[in-house]
Amino acid sequence: MQPEPMRRRKTQEELDAEAKQAYERRVAVDREDLNSRWDVYQRTMFDAPPKLLPLEAAQVLQDFHAYFKDQGFRDLEQIAIEGFDKEIHQEAQPAGHLVDELQRELQSTSRFTGFFKRGFGKIRDALRRCKVSIEPPNLGDVAREAVAGSCRLLRKWRERAEAKQQAVFSIHHNAGKAVLHIGSSQYGSVFITIPKLLEEEVRSLLTHLKQIVSGFIASESILAVIDGDYQTLNYQAIFEKNIVVRSAKADCDRFDANLDTILHRQPVTPENTGLHLGLPANSQELEKVFEMGKRESQNSPPDWADWSHVLPDWQKSASRNGFDVQSNASATQILDSLTRDENVIIIVAHGDHDSIYLPAPPPEGSKLTEDQVKARRYEIAANKPVVYLFCCETAVVSDLKSFAQILLDSGVAAVIAPQLKIDADEGSIKFFESLVQKGSNGHENSLTKFQAAMQQTNYREMEVFLG
């Protein structure tokens, strides 16, 4: 029997190499374990997917590690943890620089010199004392829900390959302070807490602040204004280069579904659109329309001399663009259109928070009411039309009781309407013609067509409401 050959003793270099390889394998396994834990943590704590955005991820790293330590999970190699954390922080670094720059800009008054000279010096100290954070400040239940929904909306947008950088914006009052939530689908959210913000200062302040927050709110991106205070502000007129889409509620799931619908809806054409004129043809019809919508505070009906040309002007404009509008529409015709047409354009002389008033059928006319719309909400929701309201005061927000909100609550995908009284003809007609003119490039949707019409006419009285 031959003796077994003696095994060669490994050199120290070989032993060190094997130890190094074993260590590297442990580190690689631990990194995979960390990635798996991170996925579990996001699903458990944040209902992912969609996954957290860079600023959010960096903010919760310590909580992430503490969570699994408390669960009794095995310890991991420190270098694996450090490498994982480094990647998270590196991804958040550009956003962190923007947050730091935002704080510096707000505390420096150089950018606001002209602003203060125009009589707004009293907010200088408030701006210097404002606080910028990536963690939401203390807010009430409704505001917290709106912020949480907005943050999730940004995460969903980030995961869409075709989406550009999109943003959210809202203002919330809390304990005498104003909290501005500004979010980017590329970076995450930042919060600006201002000690005091007076009603008359809001618009001017936002007009100047939009330059400072441009890193989060990219030019020409979609800007979602979700819930919050100052609902009567025309944010489209402030953020002129963006497509502003609004919701008076914190239902971000419905908001996102409606946004997806309008992003895939073809621009208006005579073939896919129901156009309904509800404008008086004579002084008797004008008087009747305003009589139906009379409120105690309302003055006498407007002079027919100011209205005699309005219906003919709209008819000519519509006819030039291929629409057949020889007669006025009744409430029944509009209701049927809401259940049938992809796009519905309604042009009326008068309306309020729960009704619009129509001269047809003569002589009594008709009114389209909240009850009538809600009675057919299932048909309307199945059709999901995009509605354009060229009317006076139909989108005034008053305890969420506006005609635009009634339509949205009844299943309409979007309502494009003014919040305040708009001119009866010139500006509205120019915007209408730009909206319906032919020659789209084949890639436009209802929203981009709306933006093009605004830019072409510089008419920003119409706003897009999605929830």
Does residue 115 surpass a pLDDT of 70? Answer: no
User: If you average pLDDT over residues 365-372, what whole number do you get?
Assistant: 94
Q: What does the pLDDT read at residue 9? A: 72
Ordered by start, the domain boundaries in the chain are: 21-90, 94-247, 262-465
pLDDT in tens, 281-292: 999 988 888 888
The CATH code of the domain at 262-465 is 3.40.50
Chain-centre distance of CA 64, in angstroms? 30
188/183 Cα distance (integer angstroms) = 5
Does residue 395 surpass a pLDDT of 60? Answer: no
Tell me the pTM. Answer: 0.87
Chain-centre distance of CA 156, in angstroms? 13
User: If you average pLDDT over residues 12-40, what whole number do you get?
Assistant: 82
Among the residue ranges 94-108, 241-255, 259-273, 385-399, the one predicted with the least confidence is 385-399
Band (pLDDT 50/70/90 cuts) for residue 428 is confident
Does residue 91 surpass a pLDDT of 80? Answer: yes
User: If you average pLDDT over residues 332-359, what whole number do you get?
Assistant: 92
pLDDT in tens, 39-79: 999 999 999 999 999 999 999 999 999 998 888 888 888 99
